[in-house]
C-alpha cells in the first residue's frame, strides 16, 4: 500500500500527459483540409511524440485494394523510393491491416517473420531497424497504416506505451485524413466538371479546342511566378478557365467564320467578356473571378475592350490572362494564321510590352518559360 500511492500518481500523471499530447496532436492534424499538409502534420507529430527518426503514412487505395505510400518524413530521397515497398510487406498487410492490430518490430534483421521474408532491400538501402505500425481505421474499416521507425533513444526499442499512444491517436488521424481526402475529392470533381463544360463551350469555336484549359495552365504558371497566394491562385485558375465562357452567347456562324469578321460581327464578338460576366454573376463570391473574365481583352495602352482601361487600372488577373490568352492564340493554328513556335510567340508578346501587355506580367511569363519550359509546350 505504501508504494501504490506514489506509483499511481506517477502512472496517472503519465496517462494525463499522454492524453494531453493526444488532444493537442488531434487538434494540430485536423487543423487543415489540405491532404498533403495533414499527412505531413501527422508524420511530424508522430516522430515528435515517439522521439523517432522517421515515419511514413500509407493509405488504402479503394480501387487497387492495397496500401499506397501517401507521404514519408525523415528519409533521404533515395530511401523514400524504397519506403514505398513497405506497404507491400506481407507482415504489415497481414498483421496490421487484415487483423487490425498494431505491430512492433524492434529488430527487423533478427525478427523471425522477417527472416523468412525475402526483404526487397539491403541494410544500406533502407535504414529501418525498428518500427511501430498502427492501423488507421474509420467505422471499423482499415483506411491506412502509420509506421514510425527507429526510436532515437538508446537500444532503439518501441514499447507498449508507445503503441498505446499511437493507437489513441489513430482514430483522430484517420478522421483528419479522410476529411482532407473528401475535400480533395470534391475539389477534383468541381474542377473536372467545370473543365468538361468549358471544353464543350470551346468546341463551339472550331479553332479553339482545348484553349481555355491551356490558358488556365499558363495563367497559373505566371501567377506562381508572381508568388500569388493560394487563394488568389485558385480564383485566377477559375477565372482563366472561364475567361471565354461568354462565347456561348455569340452566334455560331460568327465563331465558325473562317474569313475576316465584318464590323458588326466584330462588335458582337467583342461582347463575349461582358456576356461571360453575366453568366458567372450567379456564382457564389463571383466578384473574385469577374474582373479576370471582363478584362482579359483590355490593353495597358487603353485600346482594349470592353472598358478601354489603362495600365494598372486593369486587374492583375486581367493582365495575366491577356498574356496567357495571347500566347495560346499565337501558338495554335487559327483561321487567320499558321501557328508560331513558342520562341516566336515570346518575341511577339515582348514586342507588345507596355503597349498591349503589362511589363511585370511579361517578366513573370518569360521567367516561368525559361525555368519550366515543359508547361509552355503546346
| Other C-beta atoms lying within 10 Å of the C-beta of residue 100 | 13
Q: Which of 6, 155, 258, 259 binds a second copy (CB under 8 A)?
A: 6
Q: Is 304 in the site for a second copy (CB under 8 A)?
A: no
Q: Within a 10 A sphere around the Cβ of 94, how many other Cβ atoms?
A: 13
CA 54 to each of CA 95, 108, 151, 228, 332: distance values in angstroms, whole numbers, following the listed order: 21, 15, 9, 33, 48
Residue 20 within binding range of a second copy, rule CB under 8 A: yes
Member of 98, 251, 308, 371 binding a second copy (CB under 8 A): 251
Q: Which is nearer to a second copy, 8 or 337 (CB)?
A: 8
Q: Binding to a second copy by residue 344, rule CB under 8 A? A: no
Of positions 102, 135, 168, 273, contacts a second copy by CB under 8 A:
168
Site for a second copy contains 155 (CB under 8 A): no
Among 85, 104, 280, 375, binds a second copy (CB under 8 A): 280
Does residue 275 contact residue 284 with C-beta atoms inside 8 Å? no
Alpha-carbon span 90 to 98, nearest angstrom: 10
Residues 6+ apart with CB under 8 A from 162: 50, 104, 132, 148, 151
The site string for a second copy over 226-245 (x = CB under 8 A, - otherwise) reads ------------x------x
Q: Closer to a second copy at the Cβ: 8 or 351?
A: 8
- Stretch touching a second copy by CB under 8 A, among 49-57, 105-113, 117-125, 280-288: 280-288
Residue 275 gets the label, from left (phi > 0), alpha (psi -120 to 50) or beta, of: alpha
Q: Tell me which residues in 121-140 interact with a second copy (CB under 8 A).
A: 138
Span near a second copy by CB under 8 A; candidates 101-109, 201-209, 308-316, 352-360: 201-209
Q: Kindly state the smallest distance separating residue 192's Cβ from a second copy, in Å.
A: 5
Query: Is residue 141 a contact point for a second copy (CB under 8 A)?
Result: no
104 binding a second copy? (CB under 8 A):
no
C-alpha cell of 342? 513558342
Residue 137: CB atoms within 10 Å: 17
Binds a second copy (CB under 8 A): choice among 167, 279, 366, 375: 279
Q: Kindly state the smallest distance separating residue 222's Cβ from a second copy, in Å.
A: 23
Nearest Cα to 58, choosing from 139, 167, 143, 176?
A: 143
Residue 343's CB: how many other CB atoms inside 10 A?
9
User: Using the rule CB under 8 A, is 209 a contact of a second copy?
Assistant: no
Rg of the chain in Å (alpha carbons): 28
**Which residue of 76, 192, 262, 333 would you call a contact of a second copy, by CB under 8 A?**
192
User: Which of 7-15, 44-52, 224-232, 352-360 is the region at the interface with a second copy (rule: CB under 8 A)?
Assistant: 7-15
- Report in angstroms how near the CB of residue 50 gets to a second copy at its nearest: 18
Closest C-alpha to 300, from 348, 349, 353:
353
**Number of other residues whose CB lies within 10 A of the CB of residue 375:** 15
Name the DSSP letter for residue 37.
H
- Residue 220 CA, chain-centre distance (Å), reads 13
Nearer to a second copy, 6 or 154 (CB): 6
Cell matching residue 32: 487543415
Q: Does 281 bind a second copy (CB under 8 A)?
A: yes
Q: Which helix (H) or strand (E) holds 181?
A: helix 160-204
The residue count for binding a second copy (CB under 8 A) is 57
User: Is the Cβ of residue 182 or residue 355 nearer to a second copy in the bound state?
Assistant: 182
Q: How far apart are CA 322 and CA 318, in angstroms?
A: 6
Binding site for a second copy (CB under 8 A): 5-6, 8-9, 12-13, 15-16, 19-20, 22-23, 26-27, 30-31, 33, 138, 168, 171-172, 175-176, 179, 182-183, 185-190, 192-201, 203-204, 238, 245, 248-249, 251-252, 279-285
Amino acid at each position: 500500500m505504501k508504494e501504490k500511492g506514489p506509483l499511481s500518481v506517477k502512472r496517472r500523471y503519465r496517462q494525463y500527459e499522454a492524453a494531453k499530447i493526444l488532444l493537442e496532436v488531434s487538434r494540430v492534424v485536423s487543423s487543415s483540409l489540405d491532404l498533403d499538409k495533414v499527412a505531413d502534420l501527422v508524420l511530424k507529430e508522430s516522430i515528435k511524440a515517439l522521439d523517432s527518426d522517421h515515419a511514413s503514412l500509407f493509405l488504402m487505395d479503394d480501387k487497387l485494394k492495397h496500401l499506397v505510400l501517401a507521404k514519408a518524413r525523415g528519409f533521404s530521397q533515395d530511401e523514400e523510393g524504397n519506403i514505398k515497398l513497405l506497404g507491400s510487406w506481407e507482415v504489415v498487410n497481414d498483421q496490421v491491416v487484415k487483423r487490425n492490430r498494431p505491430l512492433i518490430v524492434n529488430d527487423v534483421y533478427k525478427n523471425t517473420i522477417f527472416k523468412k521474408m525475402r526483404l526487397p532491400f539491403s541494410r544500406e538501402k533502407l535504414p529501418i531497424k525498428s518500427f511501430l505500425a498502427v492501423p488507421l481505421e474509420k467505422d471499423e474499416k482499415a483506411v491506412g497504416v502509420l509506421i514510425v521507425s527507429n526510436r532515437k533513444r538508446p537500444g532503439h526499442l518501441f514499447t507498449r506505451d508507445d503503441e498505446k499512444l499511437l493507437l489513441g491517436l489513430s482514430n483522430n488521424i484517420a478522421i483528419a485524413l479522410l476529411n482532407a481526402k473528401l475535400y480533395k475529392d470534391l475539389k477534383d470533381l468541381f474542377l473536372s466538371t467545370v473543365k468538361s463544360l468549358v471544353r464543350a463551350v470551346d468546341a463551339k469555336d472550331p479553332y479553339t479546342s482545348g484553349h481555355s484549359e491551356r490558358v488556365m495552365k499558363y495563367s497559373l504558371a505566371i501567377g506562381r511566378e508572381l508568388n500569388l497566394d493560394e487563394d488568389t491562385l485558385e480564383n485566377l485558375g477559375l477565372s482563366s478557365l472561364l475567361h471565354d465562357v461568354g462565347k456561348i452567347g455569340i452566334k455560331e456562324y460568327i465563331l465558325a467564320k473562317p474569313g475576316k469578321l465584318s464590323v458588326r460581327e466584330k462588335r458582337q464578338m467583342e461582347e463575349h467578356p461582358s456576356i461571360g460576366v453575366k453568366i458567372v454573376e450567379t456564382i457564389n463570391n463571383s466578384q473574385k473571378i469577374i474582373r479576370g473574365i471582363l478584362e482579359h481583352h483590355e490593353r495597358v495602352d487603353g485600346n482594349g475592350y470592353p472598358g478601354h482601361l489603362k495600365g494598372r487600372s486593369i486587374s492583375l488577373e486581367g493582365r495575366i490572362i491577356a498574356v496567357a490568352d495571347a500566347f495560346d492564340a499565337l501558338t495554335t493554328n487559327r483561321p487567320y494564321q499558321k501557328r508560331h513556335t513558342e520562341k516566336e510567340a515570346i518575341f511577339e508578346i515582348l514586342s507588345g510590352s507596355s503597349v498591349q501587355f503589362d511589363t511585370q506580367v511579361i517578366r513573370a511569363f518569360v521567367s516561368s518559360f525559361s525555368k519550366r519550359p515543359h508547361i509552355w509546350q503546346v
